[in-house]
Amino acid sequence: MLPSVEDAEGNVLAGRYQLVERAGEGGMADVWRAVTRGAAGFIRPVGVKRIKASLSHSPEFVQMFVEEARVGATLDHPNVVQLHDFGVDDWGSHYLVMEWVEGVDLGRWSKSFQDAGWHTPWHLTAAIGI
């Protein structure tokens, strides 16, 4: 059984990915701001996407998550976060470890222009491909 979201904070996955705080939630998974720890005090911020407890034993959702990992591992583009690792934690839940990018999410950024009554500047739209 997976720990609840509240209990997951501070957990360490695969002996090296410490969950710091939940950064977001989708229909299939939660995304955590985390750190990876290594030798000689090495620390690097990462994002950990972890399949929801309610879906962790559904073959259909697990297969979708595995496919996301396969596709993510092939992507190499400046506007797409890099996938660093993929695994199954001690509770049987699949997870992805990704590059952590500090900032606001694209939906919130785009909505800020709409709320102000502005159109997103075309050169920014073209630069990020939306």
Q: What is the pLDDT of residues 23-57, one digit of tens each?
A: 999 999 999 999 998 889 999 999 999 999 899 98
pTM here? 0.79
Fold of 5-99: Phosphorylase Kinase; domain 1 (3.30.200)
Q: What is the pLDDT of residues 49-88, one digit of tens each?
A: 999 989 998 999 999 999 999 999 999 988 889 999 999 9
Q: How far is CA 76 from the centre of its chain?
A: 16
* Strands annotated E in 12-99: 12-13, 17-25, 29-37, 43-51, 83-88, 94-99
Residue 50: CB atoms within 10 Å = 27
Provide the residue ranges of all domains of the chain, joining segments of one domain with +.
Answer: 5-99, 103-130
Q: Give the residue from 56, 31, 59 showing the smallest Cα distance to 45.
A: 31
